[in-house]
Amino acid sequence: MTSGPTHMRSVVAGIGSFLPARKVSNADLEKMVDTTDDWIVQRTGIRNRHIAGEGETTSVLATHAANAALADAGLTGNDIDLLIVATSTPDYTFPSTATQVQAAIGMLHGAAFDVQAVCSGFVFAMATADKFLMSGSHRRALVIGAETFSRLLDWNDRTTCVLFGDGAGAVVLEAREGAGTIKDRGMLTTHLRSDGRHREKLYVDGGPSTTGTVGHLRMSGRDVFRHAVSMVTDVMVDAFAATGTTAEDLDWFVPHQANRRIIDASAEKLGIAPGKIVVTVDQHGNTSAASIPLALCAAVKDGRIKAGDLVMIEAMGGGFTWGSALIRW
Ligand code: ACO
């Protein structure tokens, strides 16, 4: 077998996740805003979410998930030379949350930085890490999606506050030589898109350079819903075309967990069998960049996703941003 950058694959070597202890059910929310369990379940499929407590910042959640992923891979922080955190809820405006995690896990070399693509952040971070590993410049990446969206929410706005939750998930990616076929383990293809014309549909109404405040999440739910299915199915079709695979070849479909109706409609449009869909939105709500690694971790730990399985991840989020990655686990 020849060696060379074109045959390097980013193989998942470990996974971990972390959820804050505090669980908030729809019944709990009924006491806070004018909503009902029925409305939330019917419109979104969400039943529970976890909310970070005092001192549980994004970097704290991320560090727990990172340590779990490192333990799963049998590695320590210093075995990692690239650390990327996908988040839109950093501890501070700067430095990056990634550098906080880097210090916390005892990683004393390499590079750490944040990626901001809102709910698509984990897919963007995985694609970024994949490019670094494929180029041969780095050997092992820790890719983390971590969010404390509860701190961006307007808790008086029932149209948004019932939808989101907090959490973190992490994967270790390791550069290993493959044969260059879709039978290789690792990331097989990634497809990222964005269209900045859609800001008003999903945004935070504050920031350092505008209001000087953190701001609150604002969303036109119907507009987001209308775009979501076509955007995420487009990038999945791109992934199938790039690899010569079809929906039938997938073992698991692990979408961004925003809304059960978007997930089911996307799967149906592409002919992905319902039994292949990993769903955690019922228990986690929408945890933005954390949702995919949280769902992946749940499905790995309960034995559904196994080495060699073909797994599609995809997401769509504010910007708009959207993307997909096809991974041989
Ligand atoms: N409880 C009870 N009633 C509510 C609530 C609530 N929490 N929120 C809104 N309503 C009411 C509205 O006020 C409205 O009442 P009206 O008809 O008297 O005016 C009614 O319910 C319907 O409101 P819509 O916004 O039209 O409801 P819709 O069926 O579109 O569902 C939802 C709203 C769930 C937000 C849906 O549009 C959606 O899922 N959109 C996608 C949002 C999403 O997934 N965003 C995240 C993706 S990107 C990312 O992850 C950051």
Say if ligand 1 is within 6 A of residue 42 CB.
Answer: no
Percent of the chain whose pLDDT exceeds 70 = 98
State if residue 202 touches ligand 1 by the CB under 6 angstroms criterion: yes
* Cβ neighbour number for residue 233 with a 10 Å cutoff: 20
**Averaged pLDDT of the chain:** 97
159 CB near ligand 1 (under 6 Å): yes
Establish whether residue 225 lines the binding site of ligand 1, counting it when its CB lies within 6 angstroms of any ligand atom.
yes
| Catalytic-residue membership of 256 | yes
CA of 222 to the centre of ligand 1 (A): 7
> Best of 224, 226, 321 to mutate for ligand 1, by most ligand atoms within 8 A of CB?
224
Is the peptide bond between 149 and the residue preceding it cis, with omega within 30 degrees of 0?
no
198 tagged catalytic = no
CA distance 198 to 220: 11
Catalytic choice (256, 259, 284, 297): 256
pLDDT at position 213: 97
Strand bridging mode 186-194 / 321-328: antiparallel
**pLDDT for residue 2 is more than 50:** no
For ligand 1, pick from 35, 39, 42, 43 the residue to mutate: most ligand atoms within 8 Å of CB.
43
Task: Show the domains of the chain with their CATH numbers.
Answer: 7-178 (3.40.47.10), 186-328 (3.40.47.10)
- pLDDT at residue 170, as a whole number: 99
pLDDT tens-digit series, residues 118-174: 999 999 999 999 999 999 999 999 999 999 999 999 999 999 999 999 999 999 999
Of ligand 1's listed atoms, the one at least distance from the Cα of 159 is 8
What whole-number distance in Å separates Cα of residue 45 and Cα of residue 239? 27
Confidence of residue 1 (pLDDT cuts 50, 70, 90): very low
Residue 26 catalytic?
Answer: no
Backbone angles phi, psi at 65, to 5 degrees: -65, -40
